Amino acid sequence: MKFGSAILCALLALAPVGGQVVINEIHYNSEPNTSAEEFVELFNAGPDEVDVSGWFFQQGINFTIPPNTKIASGAFLVISEDPATLLANFGVTALGPYSGALSGDGETVELRSADGQTVDEVNYGVGFPWPVGASGSGSSMELINPGLDNDLGAAWRSSRQSGLSEATIIAESADGWRWRKGETEASNPIKDWTGEDFVEDGTWTTQTMPIGYGKVGSQVFTPAISGMQGQFTSVFFRRNFTVAAGEVPQKLLLRYLLDDGMVVFLNGTEVFRSSNLPGGDLTISDRANSSGDENNWIEEELIGTAAYLHEGENTLAIHGFNNSSGSSDFGLNFELIRPGPDLEAPPIPSPGAQNTVYSVTAPPAIRQVDHSPKQPMAGETTVITAKV
């Protein structure tokens, strides 16, 4: 049929983002379904921090957010059926446990403020147009963009493996490292030096890796640490690095050549400890209980790193230890890598991190398309309406 003219009336239904906390990810059917890893993720899409103390879920699950809980702008809050399982599987710290359960047949999940006002509501389904991959395949359902109407199936997709390509964050033998002799503690309290806000004093030296003394594999120290043998058994290292917007990794690969032991921190959180070190908070009087493998590079994968990294500047801190004060050598060379996606691995959720399906230019969801008159005549003006 040929229309003389057509008028498209678009009724925009994008949710306002100013100061808005939205339901951003729902994992309602895990794989296997006996794993207690279901969760709901909130995202603060507004420009300001939001105090969510006393907010509660009215439908779907039952949980009241505890006092003094705030979500920074651009940050996430995860509420889990079993926080211990989520921490073990994804390295993410979550609130919970909640009571009730997320239905595998679809249901309404409603978030209310402390005074009972509806903040956000998602009435999700398990079939088209809702993402079918979220129903038992290992995926969660993720919101494409927080500005979309999240009560529409077309605004969601099944999560997938992170699409970030492999990248070297800190290269082997990189410059810009700061280090300090372990003659005294680096800070008081003793772990403050591992954090982002720590201010280094004049006892810290800037140097290119590798850093150490003596013979450690084929490493060349320029210059070598002086006065360590017979005097002290540990060295403090720090280096800042930048994570680009939208590229907070879920995994990292530590690659290092070490003699003898070390503890690694990211933004003040311990993420790795070599097996030849004792547990607990270590001091400058501690030492490794055996020699390191100084002739071979070793790789360690960190899972769930989005829980303690963020966009912008981050801090890597390492406390290195010798196995005796009289040791003839000590040294470290280090590389930090963001691994690429495992294309053969099953899809996974992304709790506490940017959604794997996130898109800045998300397409609008067009629905409720209609036209009037229903059977226009040739040359007759026709009005087409749609909700976008």
pLDDT digits (tens, 9 = 90+) for 144-175: 999 898 989 989 999 986 657 889 999 999 99
Per-residue pLDDT tens for 125-147?
A: 998 889 988 887 788 999 999 98
- Residues 196 and 264 placed together within one structural domain of the fold: yes
- Residues 330 and 200 placed together within one structural domain of the fold: yes
- Residues 45 and 61 placed together within one structural domain of the fold: yes
- Residues 134 and 176 placed together within one structural domain of the fold: no
CA 224 remoteness from chain centre: 37
pLDDT band for position 23 (cuts 50, 70, 90) = very high
Residue 207 lies in a domain: yes
Distance between CA atoms of residues 158 and 138, nearest Å:
9
Strands 367-372 and 261-266: unpaired
- Residues 87 and 219 placed together within one structural domain of the fold: no
**What is each CA distance from 271 to 178, 191, 349, 376, in whole angstroms?**
19, 14, 21, 67
Q: Indicate whether 30 pLDDT > 70.
A: yes
CATH number of the domain to which 29 belongs: 2.60.40.1260
Closest residue by Cα to residue 163 from 348, 381, 363, 368: 348
- Residues 157 and 58 placed together within one structural domain of the fold: yes
Number of independent structural domains in the chain: 2
- Residues 281 and 353 placed together within one structural domain of the fold: no
Q: Indicate whether 311 pLDDT > 50.
A: yes
Please tell me the predicted confidence (pLDDT) of residue 274: 97
Instruction: Give the HSE-up count for residue 256: Cα atoms under 13 Å, Cβ half-sphere.
Output: 24
Distance between CA atoms of residues 335 and 171, nearest Å:
5
Residue 269 structural domain: 167-338
* Of 289 and 373, the one with more pLDDT: 289
Give the type of residue at 167: A
Residue 181 lies in a domain: yes
- Residues 200 and 319 placed together within one structural domain of the fold: yes
Per-residue pLDDT tens for 171-225?
A: 999 999 999 999 999 999 999 999 999 999 999 999 999 999 999 999 999 999 9
**What is each CA distance from 138 to 107, 218, 305, in whole angstroms?**
19, 45, 19
Distance between CA atoms of residues 338 and 322, nearest Å:
28
Q: Indicate whether 11 pLDDT > 60.
A: no
- Residues 154 and 203 placed together within one structural domain of the fold: no
Q: Indicate whether 270 pLDDT > 60.
A: yes
- Residues 228 and 301 placed together within one structural domain of the fold: yes
- For residue 216, what are its two tokens? 């450690």
25-52 mean pLDDT: 90
pLDDT band for position 2 (cuts 50, 70, 90) = very low
